Chains A and B, each alone.
Chain A
């Protein structure tokens, strides 16, 4: 019985020792982290899926990462057009269905664009709706003038 008591006392002591070691390590750890918060932060940052979360962000009807109008079909344009050139090239340009189809044909014949299959119709519909030509006449008015006082 004495032996048992001693054994259980030993066990208790061991447990206490273990607990106190854990506590000390924990406190030191807390202190270290408190002094060097970047240790914890870098760990958290590494866990973030790199920038991809923001990539499908749409703000004011525009797909932020590419600048494309975020209407039906823009994902197809991102997936099939921006591998070889920036979306900027799409956005600056305007045209009707025929114009966009001829551009796609030209890219397929000379620039290595693949067969778009059923997606071609959807892509062309997206482009001709959202990037349709605007009649400008033979000379447009000057626009977006930033007025400033001219000083010598």
Chain B
């Protein structure tokens, strides 16, 4: 093949890569307008070309909800492990996963109105200077279960699998904040990270959320550098992640570069209404809610999952069935766990373990007997330490479809 031909082909391929939607749309005769400031080497193609299972080392039963940004959810039957392994963990992104992470030059800056003076730590300094802690922490997406709301709420339509409970190792945020020195003005912390806005605009942060200072100072709130004993996988925040278990997982900022200690409630992207907020007062389904009437979600509600057996199990008449799973309650503990095979007419107590540490999910199991052949559903209901239980129906409607903690159920056939 001649040189010039190969060059022109290469050029054409590059053109197609860079502008394949434009080309495609031109071919279709539809008008195209490019409003996004996309970096030159960014591939703006939304066509399904990458294999996320290989890209992120994920189990085949994860469900891809979105490839731009990448969002994958897990399923109850693969969340059976007591500690969630990497390959079964959901992925939630608001922006583009950063590339070319240079760990040697990775710094964490602590700044903001409420520090005595800003301070920068290198990653190795953080690891050397402060004591390490490991906690098993439940991270659930605020929008887990969104798909059940009616009228529908916009966003990724998570079913039940946007939850995980892995072991996170790092230093306590409070130890670092105390080393920096914070003032009485501190109200909130906000994170800043290395991910890129979907529009490609480098001046826009995809997400910059945070937690109240009281949550930041909890023992279990970590600046984590390891997950399940290894470096954090890239999709989950390598090399440094803020982990605030029990809160919506969006509070646990990945690819952490900076934490600002604020004298106001942090005002980064996705902190303002309607993001990660619910109506301060209950509203009717579909009701309009003004921004000022939306309140920030803090603790996630009580919830549980049946992780064994997988829904659709057929057993023989007279056989008993062992069911098991996990339950969690945001900032609280789960105090009671029940299952029902008659749509809530009667409930049977489960064996429930204590959490390995605060904010870790708890394991339950129970053995069920079925009175006769037929179609059954096993429903699971957890109750938290304040006596609040999971509802059997979808809970209070809210504009963005957060906090659906309705009972999980599986289908079983006997006979």
Contact = CB atoms under 8 A, between A and B. Distances in A.
A99 interface: yes
Interface in A41-63: 43, 46, 49-52, 55-56
B9 interface: yes
A141 to B, nearest CB: 9
Given A84-B199, A112-B36, A94 B152 contact: yes
A75 B21 CA distance: 10
Interface stretch (A2-10, A12-20, A26-34, A142-150): A142-150
Interface string B31-59: 11111111000001011100000000000
Contacts of A146: 311-312
Scoring A56, A78, A142, A150 by chain B CB atoms within 10 A of each residue's CB, the highest score goes to A150
Contacts of A76: 30-31
Question: Chain B interface: which size bin?
Answer: 35 or more
Given A76-B30, A83-B46, A46 B1 contact: yes
Helix, strand, loop or mixed for chain A's interface?
A: loop
A92 B242 CA distance: 30
Nearest to A95: B152
A36 to B, nearest CB: 14
B297 to A, nearest CB: 19
B370 to A, nearest CB: 13
Contact of B314 (A43, A95, A136, A150): A150
Interface in B3-19: 5, 9, 12-13, 16
A116 B30 CA distance: 12
A79 B34 CA distance: 9
A82 B21 contact: yes
A135 B315 contact: no
A79 B31 contact: yes
A110 B274 CA distance: 12
B394 interface: yes
Contacts of A133: 150-152
A83 B152 contact: no
Interface string A107-138: 00011111010010000000000000111111
A99 B400 CA distance: 12
B377 A142 contact: yes
A107 B54 CA distance: 31
Given A52-B27, A92-B65, A112 B204 contact: yes
A89 B156 contact: yes
Interface stretch (B108-116, B124-132, B406-414): B406-414
A112 B31 contact: no
Contacts of B151: 95, 99, 133
Given A83-B34, A114-B35, A50 B16 contact: yes
Nearest to B155: A93
A148 B155 contact: no
Contacts of A75: 25, 28-30
A64 B330 CA distance: 41
B314 A93 contact: no
Nearest to B270: A110
B269 to A, nearest CB: 8
Contacts of A89: 65-66, 156
B134 interface: no
B76 to A, nearest CB: 12
B411 A85 contact: no
A84 B1 contact: no
Interface string B314-346: 110000010000000000000000000000000
Given A56-B24, A114-B33, A119-B31, 20 more contacts: A46-B5, A52-B27, A66-B46, A75-B30, A79-B25, A79-B28, A82-B68, A83-B46, A84-B36, A85-B46, A88-B64, A88-B65, A92-B156, A112-B37, A114-B34, A133-B151, A139-B406, A140-B148, A145-B312, A148-B313
5 contacts: A46-B9, A76-B31, A79-B30, A111-B199, A150-B321
Closest 4 CB pairs of A and B: A114-B35, A82-B46, A92-B157, A138-B393
